[in-house]
Amino acid sequence: MWIEKKVNVGKITYQANVNIGEDTIEVELPYFDKWLSCLNEEITIDKDSYTISNLTNVGDRDEVIKILIRKEKKQNEHKHVKSRKDT
């Protein structure tokens, strides 16, 4: 479901449409000059930061920039179990 939210790309705040899925996040921003310079920048959505790795000018019409973000899956670390001493 697309929701309108404020997002930060670098130091600039944009009003964007955001679709948060299970594994990916899609963000649609209004077109702005030098949008390609945002590649590998940080985007902040709801206080969570992600790295922009994929963005396109939708239809090459200079109207909408679409950003696709893969959510990083956190690996569960196993807790260390204290070993019993052999006595």
- CATH number of the domain encompassing residue 40: 2.40.10
Is 57 a member of any domain?
A: yes
Is 82 a member of any domain?
A: no
59: domain range? 2-70
Mind listing the pLDDT tens digit for each residue in 27-62?
Answer: 999 998 889 998 999 999 998 999 998 999 998 999
pTM above threshold 0.85: no
Is 77 a member of any domain?
A: no
CA atoms within 13 A on the CB side of 30: 7
Res 13: pLDDT: 94
How many of the other CB atoms lie within 10 Å of CB of 55?
19
- CB–CB of 6/45 below 8 Å? no
Is 81 a member of any domain?
A: no
- 43 or 76: which carries more pLDDT confidence? 43
Work out the angle at residue 73's Cα, subtended by the Cα atoms of residues 67 and 79, and round it to the nearest 5 degrees. Answer: 160
Is 37 a member of any domain?
A: yes
Look at residue 20 and tell me whether its pLDDT is greater than 80.
yes
With H, G, I as helix, E, B as strand and everything else as coil, classify residue 7.
Answer: strand
Is 40 a member of any domain?
A: yes
Is 76 a member of any domain?
A: no
